[in-house]
Chains A and B, each alone.
Chain A
Amino acid sequence: MTHSTLSENLSPSAKTIRFLQLFARNYRSVELADGEQMSLILS
């Protein structure tokens, strides 16, 4: 069994971080006339 090293904080990959930064910038939520919300990912 391999033990995780809790004292060293592990990090997610740079690819995941980059994806989240892009997603955070491009995600939009629009409220439609009937009150429903529509999600958009801008490119």
Chain B
Amino acid sequence: MDNLIKMSDEQLVRSYMNGDNVAFDVLLNRHQKKLYSYIFFSVRNRDVAEDIFQEAFVKAIMTIRQGKYTEQSKFPAWITRIAHNLIIDFYRQERNQNTISNDETKVDIFNNIQLSEATVEANMVTSQTFNDVKQLMELLPQNQREVVYMRYYQNLSFKEIAEATNVSINTALGRMRYALLNLRRMARDKNVVLTLD
């Protein structure tokens, strides 16, 4: 057991593939909270989150057991991508996406220095600010909320986020920028201070 706990995710997947069931338990235990939190934060319903979480891991188990796990990316990014696709299916079924998406908006906001990632990111990682941000995040469109979540709470790279959400890196970056823009606007509207300067 101690050996398993020290193993990397990829080593655990291989061990499980080779029949070591405890390796799966370790993998599940290692990632359950972050994955479930991500799903819950996306769908905001415990029962739905529970179903999606279960289905994501069932798909992962089947893929691994069928010897089809050939991922080059990290396990957390892979399982997050599975969950993301299930969340998208959920929203399609519910037709519950009544928030505004900015993906098609042509306004060029990218030259605004105040929106540069370094500036906003540096401000957002401050714990005081984080508490306010996470409440404002609830108000973001789903596709923007999940990018912010994956980046700041799951520490996924933009490449991993792009893979997990089946979009290009530019789209993932664009969603982040719009998310940050919206967060700033909402913070202003609600008199929340996002910067500590």
A11-32 near B? 1/0 per residue, CB < 8 Å: 1110011011101110111000
Chain A interfacial residues counted at CB < 8 A = 24
Within 8 Å of chain A (Cβ to Cβ): is B36?
A: yes
Within 8 Å of chain B (Cβ to Cβ): is A43?
A: no
Whether B54 contacts A16 by the Cβ 8 Å rule is: yes
The 10 A-B residue pairs whose C-beta atoms are closest, nearest first, are A9-B33, A29-B66, A24-B24, A6-B134, A12-B36, A10-B37, A25-B21, A3-B135, A9-B37, A20-B57
Whether B21 contacts A6 by the Cβ 8 Å rule is: no
Q: A3-B138, A6-B41, A7-B134 are in contact. Are A21 and B62 (CB under 8 A)?
A: no
Q: What residues make up the interface of A, taking CB atoms closer than 8 Å to B?
A: 1, 3-7, 9-13, 16-17, 19-21, 23-25, 27-29, 37, 39
Q: In the bound complex, how far is the Cα of B33 from the Cα of A16, in angstroms?
A: 12
Residues of A within 8 A of B134 (CB): 3-7
**Which bracket fits the contact residues of B?**
20 to 34
Residues of A within 8 A of B67 (CB): 29
Q: In the bound complex, how far is the Cα of B33 from the Cα of A9, in angstroms?
A: 5
Whether A10 contacts B58 by the Cβ 8 Å rule is: no
Chain B interface SS verdict (over half): helix
Q: How far is the CB of A39 from chain B (nearest CB, A)?
A: 7
Which of A6, A27, A37, A39 has the most chain B CB within a 10 Å cutoff?
A6
Within 8 Å of chain A (Cβ to Cβ): is B178?
A: no
**A29 nearest in chain B by CB position:** B66
Q: How far is the CB of B148 from chain A (nearest CB, A)?
A: 10
Within 8 Å of chain A (Cβ to Cβ): is B32?
A: yes
Within 8 Å of chain A (Cβ to Cβ): is B103?
A: no
**Other-chain residue from B32, B62, B153 in contact with A17 (beta carbon distance below 8 A):** B32
Whether B66 contacts A20 by the Cβ 8 Å rule is: no
Q: How far is the CB of B182 from chain A (nearest CB, A)?
A: 16
Whether A24 contacts B37 by the Cβ 8 Å rule is: no
